[in-house]
Structure 1
């Protein structure tokens, strides 16, 4: 078997057929493995009628467990992961596999664009350049594509199982741990597939305790990875600066509910990069420069509370909303 495509799914019958269809009709020998994580919308019955799909059912345990279950069944020399609401472009599997064989790459990557489910409107992402430091890119230096645009040699996947303890950010943990293995990279130009945006998006619906857990996991991923790089003597200035680009907005979000912990993150950022400059412009940028993180966040908190009393500020902002 050349390529195994692993698709975890839970109550996504409304979009699963498009994801599977985008994996069919390959020239290389491929297998489509779909793991139904205890769906209740008729997914399992529908899957049993798909003769070219290896269907696996399990009680509802979460996407990470489903991915690992599918990986155990995979026979391909190379493996790719696809969420059940996303779509691959025609020819992606063959193009990336052919490139992998020709270059002996252990990781092949391409651009991933986003698509709005309702309108079908596509937003094109920048074409990634040749990555000379996979970890710097994935830590946050610049656009790092998406795992649906990547083809992994099975040796990488077997060494880096997906982690249920980082379930809300396990894709980020996976890519960073893959980076620690120093994979041999190859690039295939063009769009590999579409990250489909819709109202049921998991990360878009993280609120309250889930939102807090999501960002706690994100922070601890960076602590683990940067600690490992430091111990190896591989925490370069470039990687430090890349990490700070992600840790800074994360500190903002943490400050909404846990200001002391947020200040600790801010202090860590300046330890990683003493030359760090907050990216905010205008008055807010001047406040961080003149007052510092702690005092600025205190002012912003007062402002948020005032707006909340006026009914003009959301009670439970999403993790990616760094509104002031």
Structure 2
């Protein structure tokens, strides 16, 4: 297997000491070994930084918690790989994830490779692919990935030059930041390839950004979710397209999620 292309894997960590060892050991055990693992310690107050230092990774320590978007942007700025992947520390990828994703994106000369989603908490929101396939038309790219409904950035392997060309960045200061990175990325990509058997497992941990029950946090999450939705709709209006599962084909999306 050819591994000449460096893949940068950006892993933000905030008080993730219970997950960081499992995450880093899984990354270091990948069948594709030419990985630049960049861990952004986002002002953790637990033992995360100490644990991270035990592994051969590039560690960037932020003095105070700046948020997931800032951490991801910091990692993106530090990345030197031809391709880049954003990994959440409390999630899991299968051991040949990067091998499969790299082979697909290189063989098809795509801007983005899209993996399967295994949603442990809500299996009906998982997504599998039967065959590898390349999409180029706007509607086909958006429907194949259902990025408007599942905007998770961690399911994509991006060509780094493609991200730079379109100046794609995460909006800082907001929760629910994935959608307004992933939607423009899929829209601007000339080719998107979907990759069967490359499995990203979303573990939906307690007290994560998505599950934290603090009322102030919940309020901000609701507000930022609406902000992301409004921004996505405005982006679609500006570029004159419909968003499958959101502004069109809602029933088809629901049926697909429950049947597949």
For this structure pair, what is the TM-score category when the shorter chain's length is used for normalisation? 0.7 to 0.9
Structure 2 residue 32 is the aligned partner of structure 1 residue 27: yes
The correspondence of residues 159-238 of structure 1 with structure 2, limited to 5 A, is 159-165=167-173, 167-232=174-239, 234-236=240-242
**Aligned partners of 2:153 and 2:179 also within 8 Å:** no
TM-superposed CA distance for 1:114, in Å, is 2.9
SS of residue matched to 1:71: helix
Matched residue pairs, number? 235
Q: Higher Cα Rg: structure 1 or 2?
A: 1
TM-score in terms of structure 1 length: 0.65
User: Hey, what's the Cα distance between the residues in 2 that align with 1:58 and 1:103?
Assistant: 37
Of 114, 128, 142, the match for 1:135: 142
Q: Which runs of 5+ in 1 are unaligned?
A: 117-121, 246-272, 278-324
**Aligned partners of 2:32 and 2:99 also within 8 Å:** yes
Structure 2 residue 157 is the aligned partner of structure 1 residue 151: yes
SS of residue matched to 1:168: coil
**Aligned partners of 1:112 and 1:148 also within 8 Å:** no
SS of residue matched to 1:101: helix
1:91: which partner in 2?
A: 96
Higher relative contact order (CA 8 A, sep 6+): 2
1:8: which partner in 2?
A: 12
User: Hey, what's the Cα distance between the residues in 2 that align with 1:70 and 1:228?
Assistant: 25
**Aligned partners of 1:110 and 1:145 also within 8 Å:** no
Q: Which runs of 5+ in 2 are unaligned?
A: 252-260
TM-score in terms of structure 2 length: 0.79
**Aligned partners of 1:3 and 1:77 also within 8 Å:** yes
Please give the root-mean-square deviation of Cα atoms over the aligned residues, in Å.
2.8
> Residues 163-198 of structure 1: CA distance to partner in whole angstroms, max 9, x if unpaired?
114x21101221112133134111210242211133
2:256: which partner in 1?
A: none
1:48: which partner in 2?
A: 53
